[in-house]
Amino acid sequence: MRRLSALLAGYDQVAAHLRGHWRHWYAIVQVHGETRNEKPYYRKPSPAEISVQVGLVLTRGATAERTIPFSLQQTAGTLCCPRHPLTLAQLPVSSFAKGRSMSSRNGFIETHIYDYILANSLRDRDELKRLRQETRAMPMGGMQISPDQGQFMGLLVELIGAKRIVEVGTFTGYSSTAMALALPADGRLIACDVSDEFTRIARRYWQEAGVADKIELRLGPAVATLDGMLAAGEAGCFDMAFIDADKENYDAYYERCLRLLRRGGLILIDNVLWGGRPANANEQDESTAAIRALNAKIRADERVTASLLSIGDGLTLARKR
Ligand SMILES: C[S@@+](CC[C@H](N)C(=O)[O-])C[C@H]1O[C@@H](n2cnc3c(N)ncnc32)[C@H](O)[C@@H]1O
């Protein structure tokens, strides 16, 4: 209890600080539970990682516009977003005030430049827009890829003439919808996820976007799903793979997807910049360590030609030789 009230006092300070930067917005700090990990869908936290999970719910009048999940680490005493660790002083409050969550944008470039990119390159669709809005209001909504990244991935599908895609980490369906829209009518996408709750939303949007016939959902731990596909003789049968699930398994996904791809096929790996953490030697948590190790491995991996791009939260393109 003592610990909880100490943290809550910290939240009051945070809320007061943020409120001072907003004109039409204000923050409500919600405490969901003392033992909830910032990545509840990935793994159980170790005792050292246990923190109180909070969400800043930005509201206009009585309507909640979006929820930004944050976690206040007891030890560090800083406010952290799951994807973008920031100290309080560094919070880009102006981008919240414009009503955008941090992880659905590129956190590595200035807000006005990102706005310019969206205004001058995004060809939005009604279903994708609504899917972003619905996902943004969810506590874990920050896991969704950004709209410019979705469009870029669609372009890659067209560029390599992909017909068969495997996706690891589907969530509410943004990336799968964006890629499936770019597939030809006889194209197929296998979508892997563990969550029935999240993918129920995905299935609804696949229907609305008219791509449901192209997508097959495989519910279950993705390592087992990919192993099953390899055992069924599907090695070399895929043109493209997108990896965006639990970071600790990234290397396992990479190795399996590499086998599933044909020569010349493309693996896309999301979150390879992980909010900048891999570049900070002090960040040694499991997810960061896994991403850092895979980035280093791919750089030296003669089986692929690769490039790490700073779009979204960092996206690696690795073409199988
Ligand atoms: C970052 S989200 C994916 C975001 C999605 N690509 C999008 O565009 O919105 C990660 C997803 O991976 C799923 N996931 C986590 N661990 C998994 C596992 N071991 N096997 C399969 N899926 C997993 C989660 O349920 C979650 O939906």
147-158 pLDDT, tens digit each: 999 999 999 999
Of 55-69, 159-173, 274-288, give the range with the top mean pLDDT: 159-173
Alpha-carbon torsion, ordered 174, 179, 205, 256, to 10 deg: -70
Span from the CA of 166 to the centroid of ligand 1 (angstroms): 13
Confidence (pTM): 0.74
Q: What is the average pLDDT across 131-135?
A: 95
CB under 8 Å to 221, separation ≥6 — which residues?
194
Q: What span, in angstroms and rounded, lies between the C-alpha atoms of 268 and 296?
A: 16
- Can you give the pLDDT at residue 283? 87
**Of 46-60, 206-220, 248-262, 289-303, minimum mean pLDDT range:** 46-60
User: Tens digits of per-residue pLDDT, 90-124?
Assistant: 333 333 322 333 344 566 788 888 889 999 999 99
Span from the CA of 218 to the centroid of ligand 1 (angstroms): 12
User: Tens digits of per-residue pLDDT, 239-282?
Assistant: 999 999 999 999 999 999 999 999 999 999 999 999 888 999 98
Q: What span, in angstroms and rounded, lies between the C-alpha atoms of 226 and 257?
A: 8
- Can you give the pLDDT at residue 140? 83
From the CB of residue 266, how many other CB atoms can be counted at a distance below 10 Å?
26
Q: Does residue 269 line the site of ligand 1, with CB under 6 A? A: no
Here the tokens at position 239 are 């043109």
| Burial class of 70 by CB neighbour count within 10 A (0 to 12, 13 to 18, 19+) | buried
Question: Given the structure tokens 């372009």, which residue do they identify?
Answer: 155
Q: What are phi and psi of 144, to 5 degrees?
A: -70, 145
Task: Identify any residues that bridge with 316 across adjacent strands, giving them in sequence order.
Answer: 269, 308
Span from the CA of 198 to the centroid of ligand 1 (angstroms): 9
Q: Does residue 246 line the site of ligand 1, with CB under 6 A? A: yes
Q: What are phi and psi of 206, to 5 degrees?
A: -60, -40
Q: Is 39 helix (H, G, I), strand (E, B) or coil?
A: coil
Span from the CA of 24 to the centroid of ligand 1 (angstroms): 34
Span from the CA of 125 to the centroid of ligand 1 (angstroms): 23
pLDDT grade for 142, boundaries at 50, 70 and 90: confident
Q: Does residue 144 line the site of ligand 1, with CB under 6 A? A: yes
For ligand 1, atom 18, name the residue with the nearest CA: 221
| Burial class of 15 by CB neighbour count within 10 A (0 to 12, 13 to 18, 19+) | middle
Q: What span, in angstroms and rounded, lies between the C-alpha atoms of 189 and 212?
A: 10
Does position 185 have pLDDT exceeding 60, yes or no?
Answer: yes
Does position 176 have pLDDT exceeding 60, yes or no?
Answer: yes
Q: What span, in angstroms and rounded, lies between the C-alpha atoms of 146 and 139?
A: 16
Does position 28 have pLDDT exceeding 60, yes or no?
Answer: no
For ligand 1, atom 11, name the residue with the nearest CA: 169
Planar angle of CA 109, 110, 113, nearest 5 degrees: 95
Residue 266: name the closest of 233, 229, 298 by CA: 298
Q: Does residue 42 line the site of ligand 1, with CB under 6 A? A: yes
Does position 74 have pLDDT exceeding 80, yes or no?
Answer: no
From the CB of residue 81, how many other CB atoms can be counted at a distance below 10 Å?
20
Does position 19 have pLDDT exceeding 80, yes or no?
Answer: no
Does position 13 have pLDDT exceeding 60, yes or no?
Answer: no
- Can you give the pLDDT at residue 53? 39
Q: Which residue has the higher pLDDT, 79 or 56?
A: 56
Domain 126-320 class, CATH top level: alpha beta
Percent of the chain at pLDDT exceeding 70: 67
Judge contact between 166 and 229, C-beta under 8 A. Answer: yes
- Can you give the pLDDT at residue 12? 52
Q: Which residue has the higher pLDDT, 87 or 138?
A: 138
Span from the CA of 62 to the centroid of ligand 1 (angstroms): 31
